[in-house]
Structure 1
Amino acid sequence: MANLPPVAAAFAQASGFEAKPGRIVLLPGPDGTLAAVLFGIEPEGGRADPFAVGRLPEALPEGTYRLEGLPGDAALAALAWRLAGYRFGRYRERPVPRARLAVPAGVDAEEVDRIADAVAAGRDLVNTPANDLGPAEIEAASRALAARFGAACTVVAGDDLETGFPLIAAVGRASPRAPRLIDLTWGDPQAPRVTLVGKGVVFDTGGLDLKPPAAMLLMKKDMAGAAVALAAAEMVMGAGLPLRLRVLIPTVENAVAGEAFRPGDVLRSRRGLTVEIGNTDAEGRLILADALSLADEEAPELVFDFATLTGAARTALGPDLPALFTEDDALAAELSATGLSVHDPVWRMPLWAPYGALLDSKVADLNNVSSGPFAGAVTAALFLRRFVSKAAAHVHLDLYGWNPGTKPGRPEGGEVQTARLVYALLKARYAAPKEDRSAS
């Protein structure tokens, strides 16, 4: 507070303000109106929260504010302000903060808006309950996004899945809402090929291996991988990155009925591998397997898959830190560094090949679950890895897709974890001239 005018410094001191993280004091001007706001940040040498500014929109009165003396990335601060203003208001009115931010000089305001709008659209999808968001509604959202950017969108649905996508068909067969494989393509066919695959289980009962009631409460978010893929695609297309982008979304409801697939069933995948069903609650990896097989057939440079796949990943890393799996060491390092730089972090986990034996089956090529209680996130990643061979690099991201409580820039509810990370990586790689891009 040493740089404040004496009267302002005295007022702040009298108000008990301390320059500690999150502390706020409103400073009056000579006429009694609001003149400035003091906001506490981390001390010098501390680990500042890049989204700390996201506390302010809810705390400040209506008006337009500008940031001064802010350490760190001004673009991230502006984005945090925007993201903090998100409200899911489909079922009841939820007033949005009236405090507005004048975008700092040098910050690309259009870029901030594009990213924030894509995140909000993804959050809306995750927050919408399954009675109003089924496979048809995810298809509608995908088609609407494709129409905005002139992308192509094709869909294989219902009985038509039986021949080309038998695992998707089997998982979705018990629901009255037909399963689908959504295929969106955009960009120059001659440009570098990048494919995003998002798990779209609109609700997961567990199937015949029924989940307990408490485990079903948040299962509307089991399609968060699809929301992440669509949000990242919106960012890529909005920025016009020189890519040939493909988005594949297998979307189903894992329901219980007479046509439900069963423990002990043996199913043949699109790739031709036979899969014994050890547990019907491990359905996400089944639908991803068929979608990844399709993605792999055109040998893209990069394949990302996004999925709320295992409780084991949450046990290991908690809700804020998605698990990253890839065999590409350089790409893993690039993703980890990029995640920290844009405050969308991930943590690399091992694709430990010897654990692949835990997926052995006596009657099929592999089982869909491990034979033991250990390394559940690793064995799920190893299962998916069996369905990718031609792509130059494959990244599996096992995420939670939900903010359990409100944090700066991250209101409680649905979250599209890793969408901003993947967009930032693709922008850094492909917005530069081709000769400057590093190989994966």
Structure 2
Amino acid sequence: MKLINKLTYWIMGVVFLVTPFTMIISYRSIKSNINKAEITRLRDVTDKVAEQLKAGQPPHQYILDRPITVKEVATMPPVKMQTKNYSFYNAELKRDECRMDVTSYYKINNKVYAVSTYNYVTQGKQIIMGMVYALAWKIGLITLSVLISGRLVSKYILSSFKQTLKSIEQFTLGNKEKLVLPATSTAEFKELNSFLQNMTDRALKEYNAVKEFSENASHEVQTPLAVMRTKLELLSETEINAEQAQLIGDMQYSIEKLVKINRSLLLLTKLNNSEYQTTEKVKFCRIAKDMVRALEPHIEVKGIELRNHIGSNIPLQIHPVLAEILLNNLLGNAIRYNNPNGYIDIILTQHHLTIKNPGLAPEVDPASLFQRFKKSNQCEDSVGLGLSIVQQICAVNNFEVNYSYKNSEHIIRVDFNCETVPQEQTVVAGETFLTKKPAIA
């Protein structure tokens, strides 16, 4: 829910909560003031009649056409003015009436007179009906005003905040550009922009430092590795015995493995740094067919049967280099961990890529195979980074990669453009897959 909507609902809730109390207070105040005003007016009438009596004037001239009665009483009561407010049904007019009676007592010439008068006043329900009518208009106008003013506040006052959010969404470390935030006159938004500016500047500086270090380290490692490889090749051409040849071969193998590790780690660093972003789609089916065609000689040497079920017209938004690396790692694992004279089953549709091959059950927890330097059956030809790279490629492209082992088959499945499901297992076509959430490490 948007902030302006929350504020609108909060204001309207306060209005509806406070209104009944204010209505009761207003009703009592209005009713009391009406009664006081009428009592004062009637008291003035009785006082006028008493003045005429004191002056020895007949009060009938003043009483004429007024509901006033004057009578002599025995004693003066403790309260010299008595009021009575009551409702009754007027049979002549056929309606309810509310009447205010006022009786004042005066001592004139050693005699006590009771002067009484009355008048009809506004009924309580009439006041309430008027207040309800006014309240309906009040609530309507407040609601309309809050809605309109809320949209104006959202459009003008919160516009800088929305622009800040938009700038943050478009900001990426890979662009190497500082975050540009809009100017604002709101103090809170100024503090927020200042914090975001300092945070992103620091993150960009640290990112560039780490990126430069990883690239320099990878480049510097490649030079001594190339020198070592050349020296060993030259050494192998000299006169050496069998034992020395074996040692040189082991060293060459270790160097080649180190070269693979260096390249894989560099690739993971680039994936983490989002250096393979793309907005264009490629024909993934064509890349898959080319990759299978390139690996066919290696597959035939291993005596592996290839079962190709690659569909056509399958566009995916993925960098072409990453698509090749993804397929190469998955097919390489299928070849590496296959049985002698086994098979590779490749299924590519609009929604997923599935690769199956027979092989020994993994000796480690299948869920840990996506971690770096984790290898199934500790294969010597593997550096333990293949599935980690696959997982990272899936992460940056919003794919979901799953692994299962069932009926002596290794099954890798990549679902395209899937929302990450926060669960440990997924059942697909009767098979249970261990799900690796595509979260960038």
Name the TM-score class by shorter chain: under 0.3
Q: TM-score scaled to structure 1, two decimals?
A: 0.27
Higher share of residues assigned helix: 2
Q: TM-score scaled to structure 2, two decimals?
A: 0.27
- The structure having more radius of gyration, on CA atoms, is 2
* Higher relative contact order (CA closer than 8 Å, sequence separation 6+): 1
